[in-house]
Structure 1
């Protein structure tokens, strides 16, 4: 009993407000910057560690990272801090997604850069360096990259130009082509609104390169959700087994029962949408269908896009035509930033009170003389 009293007194003497504040700050940083990512990864769906890579491939889908630029951000010090924090979030989450899935192929679905379409030469080079540092593991896996409107223009008043396309292709990949990996052909047809005949011609140029039994169209913008007259001729010609898209920043799966049929009725284009934001398990996708077609929309992996649910898509694709798809959901960032603000306010108030009380308590008392 005596030893406990002595220990309590010693702790009270040593445990000052400033030490508590320092411990709280360090604990907050450790949780927000390290532990929260590991806890979230612990909740991800299990990926089989043992498999026949000749029969089953793992594909990791990355959508809309949109690395923050310089022109549209605030100046010093807010802009640099915002870019640093967003880059760190992408780096922490992608590295864990890569380690968790050990993918055979990594597919980037466009909008790699937020200001790629309007960046100056030096700005663009700095963005490319940041991209390579954030997604460092792409050096160790087969990587397929397509552009989005933020990379080369094409949305609204931001026009696509040959210069923007050439710059993207110089630092990343051709925007069109067929990328083969074992039994899968990834078709990059650059399908966009109002260019049906151009995309049909593009497919005919690329058709001789199609050699795999499974065809996957990867496109930045959604296809099935468009008007039939703008997409049916391309799908009918390309005959994909599944479409994977991005752009809208949320996670859905669309099924069109007649997308590959001979029905040329332009008013007959029914599709069903399945919201994936509450789905934590694998969803089965049948790649052996000859008339029906599924489109998977992958959510953004950046918390700066203003949506509450971010993640990476992962697909297990079997050579037989069976596919399982899931989303590796990411932790919300804004609540953690709000925690920083609350903790900092608490720390400042606590330290100020400690300083005031210590100053009052430390004033020498006047002694009276007789």
Structure 2
């Protein structure tokens, strides 16, 4: 199963106390949708395709470790599973800012694992399109999957270097927050591209066919798109890969409904309180036909 661009919100994007509410809601949403996807697919391998944090590259080390702790609370797994962790530009820098070398080292220390991770007859090769580093291929007949935060094949020279060194069967990437795939021939020339939509059939990729690079959609509702979800793939007989997306429900619709209910409630409380104050402050009407108490008794 593939998890792309959760980008948990940092401490500086929104000032307290609203930041506590926003972080709580987005973390809760990720935790809930991840649990549904995990239960649905029951995957043997989890691949986190980077941009785990929104402010990892600019965070202090204390904040960085706090974000890591939040990630562990969000992506909870109750059974043994292989996990593959990759950094994104929001984790270590590199897109609109310099690469933060200390964050690169810290990410590698926190998520300490080799660059090639094998499960049965499937090998995952961790390629870093930010630092332009990649492992070399292996002399076996395993099904070879390249995983990267940045798309690899759009970088002409780097993509050819990676492809020649590893000779993969398929690529998976993230970064663009979109669900799509591109197809290239063995010479890395473009053939086709296609956006994966809600009603698309399962994508089938043959081992000896053209090269596919699959873009996994973001799993966070904060990324400006309503097509969010988790990717999943299965390799059959070491020859065939099938891929699909489990789409998550939209969140902003619910938030707008909650906000509308809250606004109506506040208006009701305001009007009710104002009417009570006006009623209490209005002078009491006196009758001119008053009779002294002693006169009534007599």
Whole-angstrom distance in 1 between the partners of 2:32 and 2:85: 21
- 1:293 matched to which residue of 2? 211
Structure 2 unaligned segments of length 5 or more: list them. 291-298
- 2:21 matched to which residue of 1? 81
Stretches (4+) displaced over 6 A? 358-365
- 1:226 matched to which residue of 2? 155
- Summarize the Cα distance change of 1:318–1:68 in structure 2 as closer, same or farther, 3 Å threshold: same
Shift of 1:141: 1.5
Q: 1:145 aligns with which of 85, 88, 106?
A: 85
Shift of 1:368: 6.2
- 1:69 matched to which residue of 2? 10
- Summarize the Cα distance change of 1:190–1:212 in structure 2 as closer, same or farther, 3 Å threshold: farther
User: Quick check: 1:171 aligned with 2:89?
Assistant: no
Q: 2:35 aligns with which of 95, 106, 117?
A: 95
Shift of 1:156: 3.1
User: Quick check: 1:181 aligned with 2:95?
Assistant: no
Whole-angstrom distance in 2 between the partners of 1:124 and 1:157: 17
- 2:250 matched to which residue of 1? 332
- Deviations 1:70-99, CA, capped at 9 Å, x for gaps: 13x122112222211111111111111111
- 1:122 matched to which residue of 2? 62
Secondary structure in structure 2 of the residue aligned to 1:324: strand
Shift of 1:319: 2.3
Q: How does 1:30-41 map to 2 (within 5 A)?
A: none
**CA-atom RMSD, angstroms?**
2.4
CA contact (8 A) 1:180 1:212 kept: no
User: Quick check: 1:318 aligned with 2:236?
Assistant: yes
- Deviations 1:193-240, CA, capped at 9 Å, x for gaps: 8x4xx64xx41xxx35x645200000111122333x331232133111
Whole-angstrom distance in 1 between the partners of 2:100 and 2:275: 64
Whole-angstrom distance in 1 between the partners of 2:93 and 2:275: 60
- 1:270 matched to which residue of 2? 190
Shift of 1:280: 4.5
Whole-angstrom distance in 2 between the partners of 1:165 and 1:323: 32
User: Quick check: 1:214 aligned with 2:143?
Assistant: yes
- Deviations 1:107-146, CA, capped at 9 Å, x for gaps: 0011111122221121111111101000011763211111
Larger radius of gyration: 2
User: Quick check: 1:235 aligned with 2:170?
Assistant: no
- Summarize the Cα distance change of 1:347–1:192 in structure 2 as closer, same or farther, 3 Å threshold: closer
- Summarize the Cα distance change of 1:287–1:365 in structure 2 as closer, same or farther, 3 Å threshold: farther
With the length of structure 2 as denominator, give the TM-score of the two structures. 0.87
CA contact (8 A) 1:185 1:212 kept: no
Whole-angstrom distance in 1 between the partners of 2:40 and 2:7: 23
Whole-angstrom distance in 2 between the partners of 1:355 and 1:317: 64
- 1:346 matched to which residue of 2? 264
Secondary structure in structure 2 of the residue aligned to 1:136: coil
Q: 1:157 aligns with which of 59, 73, 97?
A: 97
- Summarize the Cα distance change of 1:76–1:192 in structure 2 as closer, same or farther, 3 Å threshold: closer
Whole-angstrom distance in 2 between the partners of 1:173 and 1:276: 33
CA contact (8 A) 2:56 2:91 kept: yes
- How many pairs are equivalent? 288
